[in-house]
């Protein structure tokens, strides 16, 4: 039987090759399992009992350690438990034994509503990129596409020129999401104009004679990084005076919220976001219900 470290390696190879999970997801799983291995070493857990219920219960307590550098939030602990439970399921199938962690439940975490920008805040953010410089044209196209498509930052930085698809008179983009699942999303007139301006007047400057398949390029002609996108958006939000932290994911939240506010069908929004289950998308309906309640309490004369 393979030792625990070998089983972890086999599991990571499995989710990479056979499950085709995204690189960022695999990286998160690897960090979770490295932290678990550190706990096992510190706790001197008996050989062969790595994946028993008592061990995982102790691990959750270890992760919650008050004042400890190991302490994590409940959502991170919940994900760590799911990672180890998935590993246990994989090992149990490989060696044909009972999965002792099958019914171990991760900690329940409070449902947090996603924070969306208002439409006027989106407009203020985009105004920061109105200029003729190559960087401004690129940033405007980037943010317009993030907001127009609801794409994850990892999906948008991975866009290639071949992912720009013309369907009759409509410009669309092909996004590749989790597990390699692809979806085609339409672009509106604002994002189309910003994209065309970038392609004609800005991208050739960044390419500087080099050939690259990627849509969004950095100053060296290579693929624009996620870190660069974060900085572009956070700097623009600060300049716009938006009084909250703004990230690329804020634009995804805003995309979904504004569609539902405008009357879009939740199943359509689910498809556009690339959610495998409508349950994930339904959290955005809570945002719109919250707004309706707030408007009612403010406006109705007998609401108080």
CATH topology of domain 119-248: hpI Integrase; Chain A (1.10.443)
Amino acid 101: pLDDT: 85
pTM for the model stands at 0.66
CA dihedral over 61, 67, 70, 71, signed as positive or negative: positive
Mark whether 152 is an active-site residue: yes
- Token pair for 26: 């695999």
Q: How confident is the model at residue 293 (pLDDT cuts 50, 70, 90)?
A: low
User: Which residue out of 30, 79, 249, 291 is catalytically annotated?
Assistant: 249
Helix (H, G, I), strand (E, B) or coil at 160: strand
User: Which residue out of 203, 252, 253, 258 is catalytically annotated?
Assistant: 252
User: Which residue out of 35, 138, 152, 253 is catalytically annotated?
Assistant: 152
Query: What is the domain partition of the chain in residue ranges?
Result: 4-95, 119-248
- Token pair for 138: 């690129």
Instruction: For residue range 39-49, list pLDDT tens digits in order.
Output: 888 776 655 56
Instruction: For residue range 200-228, list pLDDT tens digits in order.
Output: 999 999 999 999 999 999 999 999 999 99
First to last CA, the chain: 67
Separation of alpha carbons 93 and 110, rounded Å: 32
Residue 34 has pLDDT above 70, yes or no: yes
CATH topology of domain 4-95: DNA polymerase; domain 1 (1.10.150)
Residue 245 phi, psi dihedral angles, 5° rounding:
-70, 130
Mark whether 178 is an active-site residue: yes
User: Which residue out of 178, 183, 201, 226 is catalytically annotated?
Assistant: 178
Residue 225 pairs in a beta bridge with none
CA dihedral over 217, 218, 223, 226, signed as positive or negative: negative
Mark whether 275 is an active-site residue: yes
Amino acid 59: pLDDT: 87
Mark whether 231 is an active-site residue: no
What are the distances in angstroms from CA 258 to CA 10, 53, 262?
Answer: 43, 44, 6
Residue 273 has pLDDT above 90, yes or no: yes
Mark whether 300 is an active-site residue: no
Amino acid 208: pLDDT: 92
Residue 165 pairs in a beta bridge with 172
Residue 180 has pLDDT above 90, yes or no: no
Please spell the DSSP secondary structure of 168-195, one letter per residue: TTEEEEEEE-GGG-EEEEE--HHHHHHH
Q: How confident is the model at residue 52 (pLDDT cuts 50, 70, 90)?
A: confident
Residue 67 has pLDDT above 50, yes or no: no
């Amino acid at each position: 039987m393979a030792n625990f470290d070998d089983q972890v390696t086999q599991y990571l190879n499995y989710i990479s090759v056979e499950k085709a999970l995204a690189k960022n997801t695999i990286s998160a799983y690897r960090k979770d399992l490295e932290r678990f291995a550190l706990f096992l070493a510190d706790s001197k857990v008996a050989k062969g009992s790595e994946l028993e219920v008592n061990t995982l219960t102790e691990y959750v307590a270890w992760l919650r350690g008050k004042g400890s550098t190991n302490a994590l939030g409940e959502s991170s602990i919940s994900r760590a438990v799911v990672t180890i439970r998935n590993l246990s399921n994989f090992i149990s199938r490989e060696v044909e034994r009972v999965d002792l962690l099958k019914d171990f439940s991760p900690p329940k975490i409070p449902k947090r509503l996603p924070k969306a920008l208002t439409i006027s805040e989106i407009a203020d953010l985009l105004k920061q990129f109105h200029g003729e410089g190559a960087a401004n044209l690129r940033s405007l196209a980037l943010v317009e596409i993030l907001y127009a498509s609801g794409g994850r930052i990892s999906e948008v930085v991975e866009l290639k020129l071949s992912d720009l698809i013309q369907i009759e008179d409509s410009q669309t983009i092909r996004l590749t999401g989790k597990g390699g699942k692809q979806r085609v999303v339409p672009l509106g007139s604002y994002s189309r104009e910003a994209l065309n301006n970038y392609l004609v007047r800005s991208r050739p400057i960044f390419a500087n004679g080099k050939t690259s398949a990627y849509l969004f390029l950095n100053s060296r002609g290579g693929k624009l990084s996620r870190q660069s996108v974060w900085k572009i958006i956070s700097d623009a939000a600060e300049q716009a005076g938006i009084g909250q932290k703004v990230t690329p994911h804020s634009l995804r939240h805003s995309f979904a919220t504004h569609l539902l506010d405008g009357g879009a069908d939740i199943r359509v929004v689910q498809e556009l976001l690339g959610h495998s289950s409508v349950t994930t998308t339904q959290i955005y309906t809570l945002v719109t219900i919250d707004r309706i309640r707030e408007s009612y309490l403010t406006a109705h004369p007998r609401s108080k």
